[in-house]
Copies of this chain bind each other. A is one copy, B any other.
Amino acid sequence: MSEKFSFSLNATDGAARSGVISTPRGDIRTPAFMPVGTAATVKAMMPESVRATGADILLGNTYHLMLRPTAERIERLGGLHKFMNWERPILTDSGGFQVMSLAELRKLTEEGVTFKSHIDGSKHALTPERSMEIQRMLGSDIVMCFDECPALPADRARIAESMRLSMRWADRSREAFGDRPGHALFGIMQGGLEQDLREESAKALTDIGFDGYAVGGLAVGEGQEAMFGCLDYAPGYLPVDKPRYLMGVGKPDDIVGAVKRGIDMMDCVLPSRSGRTGQVFTRRGVINIKNARHAEDPRPLDAECSCPACSSYSRAYLHHVFRANEMISGMLLTWHNLHYFQDIMQGMRDAIAAGSFDAWEAEFHAGRAQGDIAPI
């Protein structure tokens, strides 16, 4: 355990990197996938099960937690780690993105944003200063700057204006965060798909100086090709010696493509949300467990997977409990999906260390190209 927040890069293979983020609450092996614990729980999972999948860090959502049960209450109860029984690192987002996607009656000004809760209609405000305060009350290990993230496509003027506002907010976030040893503050690059705006944003952030840097404003409707196009240059504008975090990504092939382009950290609700809707990610692509072809199939979801769903249950069972709307369906499929995502991360970490990322990636794509095993 480190007393400070630090990042060490252990190996590179092309643009892909592997390393370790050290924090007082434990190490985070990179590239890292962060399961999302929206409302102080990774849905359908016990925290010890999340850990068993290989997760070193969780993401918590400031927007959700500030509304319910409130950051003030969580602070009085000893912080988010204790509250949700997860003693390892937690990264919290700033709340800005979800205000824009979930809240009602949003009003954006230079100062920040006001909105009404989607839960009970109560009025709230978020500013860079308030976001820093909330994330401090939660006890977050990695705090994100408060930013604005426009949906894509958007015109260049809107992207530029929004990015510059986010850079002024980044400055205010840095100021409000202050000096908190053992805790990190990450800046968030914006600029949409405009390369010069991305470069301008990166410069603004590095001038301020952060413990890590996120690539924001992607995975918001632009498609994988456009996202990869941006990732071909955007990480290169960021300091080599700091972690790079791609927010809200993604599908397995998005994750692999992002790591290939120099990303160290990602988060996404996809494995947990899909687990509750019967969508399963495997080495051979995507399965929908509710499909009748699985009804009497005694085989596991993924013969190479060591998760509990694959070790102890047939597709037939998983089909049955999904159809019967049993909670164990979401529990087992979420566990499998999170386990598989962590397997991908471990595979990439090992491949980068061995200098064999390209071969690993080829095998990853070849497995998916096979498609699911033939019906019995």
Residues of A within 8 A of B (CB): 39-41, 43-46, 68-69, 73, 76-78, 83-85, 295-296, 298, 308, 312-314, 316-317, 319-321, 323-324, 326-328, 330-331
A314 to chain B, nearest CB (A): 6
* A/B interface sample: 20 pairs, CB < 8 A: A39-B320, A40-B317, A40-B320, A40-B321, A43-B326, A43-B328, A44-B328, A45-B328, A68-B320, A69-B295, A77-B317, A78-B298, A83-B314, A84-B317, A85-B312, A85-B313, A85-B317, A327-B327, A327-B330, A331-B331
Chain B residue nearest to A39 in the complex (CB)? B324
Chain B residue nearest to A323 in the complex (CB)? B68
Q: Contact between A73 and B328 (Cβ–Cβ < 8 Å)?
A: no
What chain B residues lie within 8 Å of A39 (beta carbons)? 320-321, 324, 326
Give 6 nearest A-B pairs by CB, closest first.
Answer: A85-B312, A69-B320, A44-B327, A41-B328, A39-B324, A41-B326
Supply 20 further A-B pairs (C-beta < 8 A) apart from A40-B321, A46-B331: A39-B320, A39-B321, A39-B326, A40-B317, A40-B320, A43-B326, A43-B327, A45-B328, A46-B308, A46-B328, A68-B323, A68-B324, A69-B316, A69-B320, A69-B323, A73-B316, A77-B317, A84-B317, A85-B313, A331-B331
Taken together as a complex, chains A and B put the C-alpha atoms of A193 and B41 apart, in Å, by 49
What chain B residues lie within 8 Å of A330 (beta carbons)? 327
What chain B residues lie within 8 Å of A45 (beta carbons)? 328
What chain B residues lie within 8 Å of A83 (beta carbons)? 314, 316-317, 320
Q: Contact between A296 and B76 (Cβ–Cβ < 8 Å)?
A: yes
Q: Contact between A295 and B73 (Cβ–Cβ < 8 Å)?
A: yes
**How many monomers of this protein are in the complex?**
2
Taken together as a complex, chains A and B put the C-alpha atoms of A78 and B299 apart, in Å, by 12
What chain B residues lie within 8 Å of A316 (beta carbons)? 69, 73, 77, 83
What chain B residues lie within 8 Å of A298 (beta carbons)? 77-78
Taken together as a complex, chains A and B put the C-alpha atoms of A46 and B84 apart, in Å, by 20
What chain B residues lie within 8 Å of A327 (beta carbons)? 41, 43-44, 327, 330-331
What chain B residues lie within 8 Å of A78 (beta carbons)? 298
Chain B residue nearest to A326 in the complex (CB)? B41
Q: Contact between B296 and A73 (Cβ–Cβ < 8 Å)?
A: yes
Chain B residue nearest to A72 in the complex (CB)? B296
What chain B residues lie within 8 Å of A68 (beta carbons)? 320, 323-324
Choose among A83, A314, A320, A331 the residue with the greatest number of B CB atoms under 10 Å from its CB.
Answer: A320
Taken together as a complex, chains A and B put the C-alpha atoms of A6 and B298 apart, in Å, by 33
What chain B residues lie within 8 Å of A73 (beta carbons)? 295-296, 316
A243 to chain B, nearest CB (A): 29
Taken together as a complex, chains A and B put the C-alpha atoms of A76 and B324 apart, in Å, by 19
Taken together as a complex, chains A and B put the C-alpha atoms of A41 and B330 apart, in Å, by 13
Taken together as a complex, chains A and B put the C-alpha atoms of A41 and B331 apart, in Å, by 12
Taken together as a complex, chains A and B put the C-alpha atoms of A46 and B311 apart, in Å, by 13
Chain B residue nearest to A73 in the complex (CB)? B296
Chain B residue nearest to A332 in the complex (CB)? B46
Chain B residue nearest to A327 in the complex (CB)? B44
What chain B residues lie within 8 Å of A312 (beta carbons)? 85
Q: Contact between A77 and B328 (Cβ–Cβ < 8 Å)?
A: no
Taken together as a complex, chains A and B put the C-alpha atoms of A296 and B78 apart, in Å, by 11
Taken together as a complex, chains A and B put the C-alpha atoms of A328 and B86 apart, in Å, by 14
